[in-house]
């Protein structure tokens, strides 16, 4: 992605002032992907350091995707911002996320909405994400080790559903678990697709922006 010539901030200027660095980080993101006040506060308040893989500390405030365990990636903060904004979280009480990964997206959501339910199919990733949530005292995130295509019927319907992996089509169970009037956001064919469920159970689709994600895979991967 090409950013404005004056875009990149030298974060060494903020040595010892973590909160100032986080504020500038959120501002950088919002220059590429406009954020609401609540969304911007979330990026300011979620400790980015907790989610950066060992050996990549110098990329703490990079706006690029970074590799994590199990051949997966922590998405670009700009992509996370676009996905979050597409959900239109105002007045949303519960969000289901498919593909917890590092947990960073779930942490951002948890700062905006009351309850986040996140599913991960790779046990190692979920174990690490749970430790991060505990370290950050994010008690409103509920986690499940399972095949994400199955959703989480016990807590449905959800006001919002976010699929953090590329899908050829949206799994029927996830559409069924979305509340009337709810929004589902997913990557499809390199684009962020937004589905709104009407009062007859039909869906209106809109493409929001381009994106890149790992594909959705069925089943689970144990330690």
Distance CA 102, CA 51 (A): 6
Q: Is the pLDDT of residue 113 over 90?
A: yes
Instruction: Look at the domain 66-210 and name its fold.
Output: Rossmann fold (3.40.50)
| Catalytic residue IDs | 75
Would you place residue 18 in the very low, low, confident or very high pLDDT band (cuts 50, 70, 90)?
confident
pLDDT value for 136: 97
Q: What are 123-148's pLDDT values in tens digits?
A: 999 999 999 999 999 999 999 999 99
Q: What are 191-213's pLDDT values in tens digits?
A: 999 999 999 989 999 999 888 89
- Name 58's Cβ contacts closer than 8 Å, sequence gap at least 6: none
Q: What are 76-89's pLDDT values in tens digits?
A: 999 999 999 999 99
**Structure tokens belonging to residue 205:** 């689709």
Ranges of each domain in the chain: 66-210
């Amino acid at each position: 992605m090409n950013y404005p010539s004056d875009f990149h901030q030298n974060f060494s200027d903020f040595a010892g002032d973590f909160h100032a660095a986080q504020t500038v980080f959120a501002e950088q993101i919002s220059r590429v992907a406009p954020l609401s006040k609540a969304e911007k506060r979330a990026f300011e308040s979620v400790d980015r350091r907790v989610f950066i893989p060992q050996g990549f500390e110098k990329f703490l405030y990079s706006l690029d995707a970074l590799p994590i365990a199990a051949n997966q990636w922590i998405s670009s903060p700009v992509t996370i911002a676009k996905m979050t904004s597409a959900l239109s979280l105002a007045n949303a009480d519960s969000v289901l996320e498919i593909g917890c990964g590092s947990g960073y997206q779930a942490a951002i959501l948890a700062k905006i909405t009351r309850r986040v339910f996140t599913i991960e199919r790779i046990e190692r990733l979920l174990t690490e994400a749970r430790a991060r949530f505990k370290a950050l005292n994010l008690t409103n995130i509920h986690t499940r080790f399972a095949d994400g295509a199955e959703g989480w019927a016990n807590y449905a319907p959800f006001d919002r559903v976010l699929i953090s992996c590329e899908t050829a089509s949206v799994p029927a169970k996830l559409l069924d678990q979305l509340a009337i009037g709810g929004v589902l956001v997913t990557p499809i064919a390199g684009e962020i697709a937004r589905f709104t469920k009407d009062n007859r159970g039909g869906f209106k689709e809109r493409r929001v922006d381009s994106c890149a994600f790992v594909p959705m895979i069925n089943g689970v991967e144990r330690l």
